[in-house]
Structure 1
Amino acid sequence: MAALLLFRGIALARSRGSVVCRVRLGDRAWQIGVARYVGGELHWIPFIGLRLRPRHAIARRGLTVSSRRRLASGEGPAGYWAVVCSAERGPLSLAMSEDALTGFLAWLESAPPSAHLDAV
């Protein structure tokens, strides 16, 4: 069973269009997983678990970056950045490599202008 979970984690990390990303909701601990961009959402799938469906689907609409900083030593892998975001569901933090952070910020900025407006 452990070998199957290890294989699942490696397959998720190497799948096309995925980046290793940690997520923290509120004051909880960091959880490691894989993030994928699917249309207007960022899907986050944990490394540990049996389901291949995302545990969190973070909508680009209404998502804003409040701050970003390098992770302190002992907080996560060296060279990772923490991004604190405000989302419709509440505060959210993501931790990722510098390359993944660049992709995340480009994905946020590439939203069409109407994506930030609420439909009337």
Structure 2
Amino acid sequence: MPVWQWLLDAAGLLLLLVLLYGAALIVRRRVLSRHGGTFELSHRVRSERAGRGWVLGLGRYSGETLEWFRIFSLSPRPKRTWERERLAYDGRREPEAPEQMSLYPEHLVISCQTREGEVELAMSPASLTGFQAWLEARPPGTDWTRG
């Protein structure tokens, strides 16, 4: 068999793998959306350098937790979760110049405090309204004075 046929077969196989990966990402997002609406949510995993460390993802509310899934992962499990009672909203800001290239368009950067430290998330203004409502909608009997 000539070399060009081997190369053509390899290119065809590579294209098939890329298409299967894309289809798997679509199916995963649909499965995640079935158990509650998802929204675009980026998380800053490293904050050593200004404007760096952002990872695109999806957010989903699941009872008392906010789950975060990486956008290009095939894992059905969330990469991070935050409990509602341990999450305190600190404020929002516009993305800085280097961050604008890393985040979805028109997203706002919000900072929250947890017992482990500061968490930075980025979401659309509409998602931020839902996030604030979710934080304030604690169940009856909640001690509002706890941080």
TM-score, normalised to structure 2's length? 0.69
Question: What is the match of residue 6 of structure 1?
Answer: 22
Question: What is the match of residue 71 of structure 1?
Answer: 95
Q: CA deviation at 1:31?
A: 0.7
Q: Which has the higher contact order (CA 8 A, sep 6+)?
A: 1
SS at match of 2:86: coil
Q: CA deviation at 1:2?
A: 3.0
Question: What is the match of residue 65 of structure 2?
Answer: 41
Higher helix fraction: Structure 1 or Structure 2?
2
Q: CA deviation at 1:9?
A: 3.9
Q: How high is the sequence identity, in percent, across the aligned residues?
A: 30
Question: What is the match of residue 104 of structure 1?
Answer: 131
Question: What is the match of residue 54 of structure 1?
Answer: 78
Q: Tell me which moved more, 5-14 or 36-45.
A: 5-14
Gaps of 5+ in 1: none
TM-score, normalised to structure 1's length? 0.82
Matching residue within 106, 111, 116 for 1:84: 111
Q: Which has the larger radius of gyration?
A: 2
* Residues 1:23 and 2:43 aligned together: yes
Structure-1 separation of matches of 2:37 and 2:136: 18
Structure-1 separation of matches of 2:21 and 2:40: 16
Aligned pairs, how many? 118
Q: Tell me which moved more, 91-100 or 24-33.
A: 24-33
Gaps of 5+ in 2: 1-16
Structure-1 separation of matches of 2:143 and 2:62: 15
